[in-house]
Amino acid sequence: MATQREQPARSAPDAVLRALADPNRRQILWLVQHTELAAGQIAEAFPLTQQAVSQHIGVLKRAGLLNERRGGVRRLYTMRREALEPVRRVLSELWPDALDRLKQAVETPHPQPPQRDP
């Protein structure tokens, strides 16, 4: 009996970062971040074949970034925000004060440039 060679297990942040590396997949996540969409509705937003969009959806599902629900004959997708948490942790370890600095920059009042008279 032949044994199959096992694939090395991918860590959650690695799989998520690989999935996010493609701009089409980021666009899919943007589309489903606040609403549930069917695969066909997602595909309509792209100049790609339905098969190509389905492959992108598969990558996102395997990375844990999408929830899938069957609604009759359709498959409906929404973003799983909690799947981004491992990436956030990695980034905070590598760049511990970045989020604090960004928060401070956003919350600090900045002087407005003078208005020009018409």
pTM: 0.70
Distance CA 27, CA 45 (A): 9
Give pLDDT tens digits for 94-112.
777 776 777 777 788 766 6
Distance CA 38, CA 78 (A): 9
Distances (CA, A) of 17 to 55, 63, 95: 17, 9, 16
Distance CA 45, CA 52 (A): 12
Domains annotated for the chain, with CATH where assigned, are 12-107 (1.10.10.10)
pLDDT value at position 9? 38
* DSSP letter assigned to residue 74: E
β partners of residue 38: 76
Is the model's pLDDT at 11 over the cut of 90? no
Q: Which residue has the higher pLDDT, 9 or 15?
A: 15
Give pLDDT tens digits for 31-46.
999 999 999 999 999 9
